[in-house]
Amino acid sequence: MASFLCSTRFFVVLFLISAVPIAVLISLETATPSTHVYHYYSKGWARECAKWDDLNRRFFVSFFENGIGQIAVPDHHSPSDPLDEVLLVRDADLAGNASLGIFIDRARNRLMVAIADVFGNRYSAVAAYDMTTWDRLFLTQLNRPDEKSVADDVAVDAEGNAYITDCWESKIWKVGINGEFISTITCPLFTHKGWHRNLVGLNGIVYHPNGYLLVVHMITGHLFKVTTGSENEVRPIKLVGGPCSLGDGMELFSPTKLVVAGNPTWLVESFDDWETGTVVGKFRGSKVHRLTTAATVKDGKVYLNHMFGMGFPRKKHAIVEAVFSS
């Protein structure tokens, strides 16, 4: 998503947003949601990603203006009562950078954060934070000084290695458990003919418990299975009912079901270890004008993060339950 804010891409989105009639926005905002919604108040306009921390009953959210916050959810919360965002992390040395995709690395009690310099486009990085003290464990710069890039999303494998997508150049960086840079995964399949099909490349990424990565190319909606090791192997997933065009963040609902957040959001199922997949459901709720960017699972249900908040001075954001229809 951050690459939209670089060069002319940002202005394309601004044009599209401004083309939506105010009356339509008011209608969407006042419509009664068809599914459960967590509303929360924030000081910021844009929240790129939300992930549910089941042990502590809270959502983590990433700030486009740099930082991480939490939204605690009481056991007996009423949907009519908006929650409050509390700041956890905002590093002074990362001012001007955006915190984008996040991943809860439960085994190591740390939160992984993909970081990109949205406006200056100077560098991309990945950071790890201790989820008890919120000390930063490491910050690893990913791109060369002369290389444009946008670190977008992050996943972690069983050994603690992190994989970060670059949605500008469509590649995947691999970083070790202690923040050491290991390698870059590239493949001709990650790029497509026609400049417009590469405006935003590799985006959402997840690690599958069977030992490989699943990743989506945002503009085309193509899904890939990436096996890592001494030799990386990239295979396109043959998708029935797709592609998942404009797919953003992803989340595994189960080993055989994958949620691809977007407008609409897609539910994809596979019974052959993700050699092929079938779109078995879609969801487009009443908050699509806020731009769906990420998915998470809470108490056996899928919830979707929406980028933009509404209101002033406090901005009201929405995390929406997705109920899929075939």
Say yes or no: 224 and 83 in one domain. Answer: yes
Per-residue pLDDT of the chain (326 residues; tens, 9 = 90+): 544 445 455 555 556 556 556 666 666 777 778 899 999 999 999 999 999 999 999 999 999 999 999 999 999 888 889 999 999 999 999 988 999 999 999 999 999 999 998 767 678 999 999 999 999 999 999 998 888 899 999 999 999 999 999 999 999 999 999 999 999 999 999 988 877 777 889 999 999 999 999 999 999 999 999 999 878 999 999 999 989 999 999 999 999 999 999 999 999 999 999 999 999 999 998 788 899 999 999 999 999 999 999 988 899 999 999 999 98
Say yes or no: 252 and 286 in one domain. Answer: yes
Say yes or no: 23 and 148 in one domain. Answer: no
The three state secondary structure string of the chain is CHHHHCHHHHHHHHHHHHCCCHHHHHHHHHCCCCCCEEEEEECCCEEEEEEEECCCCEEEEEECCCCEEEEECCCCCCCCCCEECEEEECCHHHCCCEEEEEEEEHHHCEEEEEEECCCCCCCEEEEEEECCCCCEEEEEECCCCCCCCCEEEEEECCCCCEEEEECCCCEEEEECCCCCEEEEECCHHHCCCCHHHHCCCEEEEEEECCCEEEEEECCCCCEEEEECCCCCEEEECEEECCCCCCCCCEEEEECCEEEECCCCEEEEECCCCCCEEEEEEEECCCCHHHCEEEEEEECCEEEEEECECECCCCEEEEEEEECCEC
Say yes or no: 120 and 3 in one domain. Answer: no
Say yes or no: 39 and 26 in one domain. Answer: no
Say yes or no: 82 and 206 in one domain. Answer: yes
pTM for the model: 0.90
Say which CATH number the domain at 101 has. 2.120.10.30
Domain that holds residue 20: 1-30
Count of domains observed in the chain: 2
Say yes or no: 61 and 120 in one domain. Answer: yes
Say yes or no: 84 and 13 in one domain. Answer: no
